[in-house]
Chain A
Amino acid sequence: DAKTTQPPSMDCAEGRAANLPCNHSTISGNEYVYWYRQIHSQGPQYIIHGLKNNETNEMASLIITEDRKSSTLILPHATLRDTAVYYCIVRVYSGYALNFGKGTSLLVTP
C-alpha cells in the first residue's frame, strides 16, 4: 500500500470548515483513499473513501486531485465533537489490514 503524509496537528474554529490534507504521491491506480478518525481512545470510525472522483456523505467531503497524489478531507461545519485524530489511509480494495499512520490531530476550539 502507498505511504501517506499528513500534518501532525491542526486547529479549527467551531462552525468553520476543517480542511485536512493528505499526500499520497506513490498511490497506484487501483488504490483507494480512506479516511478514519479516532476520538480520544475510542475505536476508529470510518468517515469516507474515494478512488478518483470527489465524494460526499453526511459526515464529510473528500476531494482528490486529478493526479491522485493528494487529497483533502473537509468537515464543512466543525463542532467540538469533531476533535479527534484523523487518519488518511491508502489501500487496494482487496487488501485486508488498514495501515494507520500517525494521522492528524484536529483540535476544534470554541
Chain B
Amino acid sequence: EAQVTQNPRYLITVTGKKLTVTCSQNMNHEYMSWYRQDPGLGLRQIYYSMNVEVTDKGDVPEGYKVSRKEKRNFPLILESPSPNQTSLYFCASSLEGGAHEQYFGPGTRLTVT
C-alpha cells in the first residue's frame, strides 16, 4: 500500500531534550516536506527536500533541522525543543516538487513541556 508513515504518532517531552520525528514513504517520491499545524495558523511548511541531499527552508524553519540521506526517509530533528514547538506535525511527499498530488502522513502530535 502506498503510504507516508511517521513515528512516533504522539510524543511528550521536556524543553531542551533532542528528539527526532521520522518520516518514510514507499512511493519512490523525489519531493518530501514537513508542515506544522497550529490552531488559527493553519498548516505552515517547515522544510522541504527536492531529492537526496537537497533540502531547503520553508516558511517556519527556525528551531528545526532535516536531512535527506535516502530517498524514502526525511527525518525532522529538534535539537533543543521549546514549548512553542508544541504542535501537530505532518510529513508529505510527491512524485516531484511541482506534482499535483501530495500525500500526507498521519501526523505526529508533539507536546514540549
B43, A42: Cβ atoms under 8 Å? Answer: no
Interface of A is mostly: loop
Which one of B58, B88, B100, B107 lies within 8 Å of A34 (CB-CB)? B100
For the complex, give the distance between the alpha carbons of A96 and B48 in Å: 8
A41, B58: Cβ atoms under 8 Å? Answer: no
Interface of B is mostly: strand
A22 → chain B closest CB, angstroms:
15
A45 at the interface (CB under 8 A from B): yes
Q: Which of A11-19, A64-72, A97-105 contacts B (4 or more CB under 8 A)?
A: A97-105
B contacts with A, residue count (CB < 8 A): 23
A contacts with B, residue count (CB < 8 A): 20
A98, B102: Cβ atoms under 8 Å? Answer: yes
B105 at the interface (CB under 8 A from A): yes
B98, A96: Cβ atoms under 8 Å? Answer: yes
B13 at the interface (CB under 8 A from A): no
Which one of B45, B88, B106 lies within 8 Å of A97 (CB-CB)? B45
A93, B100: Cβ atoms under 8 Å? Answer: yes
